[in-house]
Amino acid sequence: MEVGGGGEEVDQEPKLALIDYLVTSFNFSKSQALSIINRFPRAKSPDNPRAVFLFLQNLGFSTADIQSTARVCPQILFTNVEKTLTPKFKFFQDLGLVGSDLGKFMSKSSSLLTNSLDKKLVPCIDILKKTLLNDKNNAALFQVLSRGSWVVRSESKLSSNIAFLESRGIVGSQLSRLLKRQPRLFALPESSLNDLVSRAFSLGFSVDSRMFVHGLHTVSCLSDATIERKLKLLRSFGYSGDGCMEMLKRAPGLLRTSEKKLKQGMEFFLFTVKLKKEVLVGRPSYLMNSLEDRVIPRYRVIQIMKSKRLLKKEPSFLCTLDLTEEVFLDKYISKFRDHAEELLVAYKGHMLDSSVKQGTVLCLTSVIHATPGTAVYYESPYVQPQNALAVKTKGHGVAGVKKDLWNNGAACGRIYRVKCTGGANMAPLHTLASCNPGSRLWFQTYSG
């Protein structure tokens, strides 16, 4: 009995070494390491995981990419390097993935390596390459592969689904776009794929339209009941069946918009802006914009400009919705220096904490009294991005620059968002003390 007990201890030593190696080299927790060796009971020692680590390292993988690769697919840790991994990685290198690029790709898509090279990877990827048009450097191929290994699990299913789609008129560039946008559809049972295509046709989408791919995406995400409920909502605002279908053909993603957002958007455009219903039929994408962050703030700015007659020609509110953030700020805020603060508060006031009065000009040194977790927006034409970063690196009680909201040059200045950490040893923000008089500060609570 005593001898047997000692033998069991000896037998456990290699497994303990394996657990330790998985924890220290691959950053698994002890419970994760135990789970892994239970899944692979033949694993007795860290020899193979160590060989895999060195193999990936020699290919140019960073330690972080090696760890991520193993987390996505622990199975590779117990795979023969010479017989199995080497030829598979050579295959991907020949496709154009080398060094750190190969590491980044495999850190998220290493489950591809569980497929047979000759029976699945080679034939399926050959089919994908023939289907994807104008794919320079196989960029679209890698995009498709990174979205799921299921697309290479069955050569016969992939081939039959492509043949089916082509039989329904989805060919050439349309087929290529569909594969890039919705590769999971190519792994569905043919009956399910047939159902989705039929539903897309029933909503009026044509294979001749570039919107067909988006329409197929929409019906693949929603049930018939959900689609009908949203169409009923559109009809409740006076749209005919044909009007609804026209809106969907122009913007299939409209149906993926929540019912609450659709309802609020309709009410705002039809009752506040007082658009004619046919305008939204022609441009349903307006309803997909964020009301809170884009539509209403820009509407407020335009209303102020109209009331103050700041423009010789009355601006079109709808045209402003098509502008990028940078262009809108430049054209409708920073050009009007005398009114910039009022316009800026109208545009970004919804982002301010309700406990702080909008437009309040705070003393610069007030920043040191900010509550921990409070974000600070400060704006001045004299503050450069490096100053904001210096606040972070010099330890003046700021956790870091969260986001460069916009940059409009000297006319309106720059607005940055930083996060105060608090603490008894918080020093004054000397880096910002060089701001000229007129610099403005607002406080807003945010997380992260």
- The CA-to-CA distance between both ends of the chain, in Å, stands at 58
DSSP codes, 248-273 = HHH-GGGGGS-HHHHHHHHHIIIIIS
Q: Is the pTM of this model over 0.85?
A: no
SS3 422: coil
- What is the C-alpha separation between 264 and 291, in angstroms, rounded? 8
Please report, in tens digits, the pLDDT of each residue of the chain (448 residues total). 333 344 444 456 668 999 999 999 999 999 999 999 999 988 889 999 999 999 999 999 999 999 999 999 999 999 999 999 999 999 999 999 999 999 999 999 999 999 999 999 999 999 999 999 999 899 999 999 999 888 999 999 999 999 999 999 999 999 999 999 999 999 999 999 999 999 999 999 998 888 999 999 999 999 999 999 999 999 999 999 999 999 999 999 999 999 999 999 999 999 999 999 999 999 999 999 999 999 999 999 999 999 898 888 888 899 999 999 888 888 888 888 888 778 888 887 765 443 333 333 222 222 333 333 334 444 333 333 333 322 322 233 333 333 333 232 222 333 334 333 333 333 333 233 333 333 343 333 232 3
- What is the C-alpha separation between 212 and 158, in angstroms, rounded? 20
Query: What contacts 213, CB < 8 A, 6 or more positions away?
Result: 174, 177, 178, 181, 182
Tokens of 269: 């455009």
Domain boundaries, the chain: 12-114, 116-221, 222-288, 291-348, 357-445
Tokens of 374: 């409070």
Tokens of 156: 């016969």
The structure tokens 């460069």 sit at 404
